[in-house]
Amino acid sequence: MEKLVNRRSQERGSAGAKLMLVLMVMVLAAHAGYNYIPVAYNAQSLRGDMDTAILQGMALPGKISPVDNVKERIAKALIVNNAPQGATLDVKQAGNGLIARVTYTKPVNILPFGMYKYNYVFDYTSTPTGFLLKQ
């Protein structure tokens, strides 16, 4: 009787190759998440900071210019949230409220060694909502 091992020689070694493939995919996914998640988190934090700056700028009493105040606050938020130097900041007074817009593009290394870079595009316009606009 022939041994069963000799007839299936082409089936040997596939478990190690599959394990290496799965581990490589997991490492690549972890690398992508490690680089992408902080950029997305900073963008969402910047959105919140922009909304807060608009509301606080509209609620200022006295002769303080709300446009200049909002520009200052958002400029500080850009620095805190690691926005690139080329970020565009535009604050306008529209009727009773203020409108602030920030745009930038930030490259994110998805694959190691710069094999694939994703351009994270941030384009957000903050408009006031709530009780400050009611007449």
Q: What predicted TM-score, i.e. pTM, was given to this entire model?
A: 0.83
Q: Is residue 3 part of a domain?
A: no
Mention every residue, 6+ apart, whose C-beta is less than 8 A from residue 14.
Answer: none
Strands 97-111 and 88-94: antiparallel
Positive or negative, the CA dihedral 75, 80, 84, 85 is positive
pLDDT for residue 10: 66
Structure confidence by residue, pLDDT tens digits, 57-112: 888 887 888 899 999 999 999 999 999 999 999 999 988 789 999 999 999 999 99
Domain span including residue 108: 12-133
Q: Would you say residue 5 lies in a domain?
A: no
> 91: how many CB neighbours lie within 10 A of its CB?
24
**Domain assignment of residue 89, yes or no:** yes
CA 89 – CA 75 distance, rounded (Å): 8
Residue 2 lies in a domain: no
Domain annotation covers residue 4: no
Distance from C-alpha of 88 to C-alpha of 50, rounded to nearest angstrom: 13
Number of domains making up the chain: 1
**Could you tell me if residue 17 is inside a domain?**
yes
Q: Is 98 exposed, middle or buried (0-12, 13-18, 19+ CB in 10 A)?
A: buried
Task: Look at phi and psi of residue 101 and say left if phi exceeds 0, alpha if psi is from -120 to 50, else beta.
Answer: beta
The residue among 14, 4, 29 whose CA lies nearest residue 112 is 29
Higher pLDDT, 114 or 106: 106
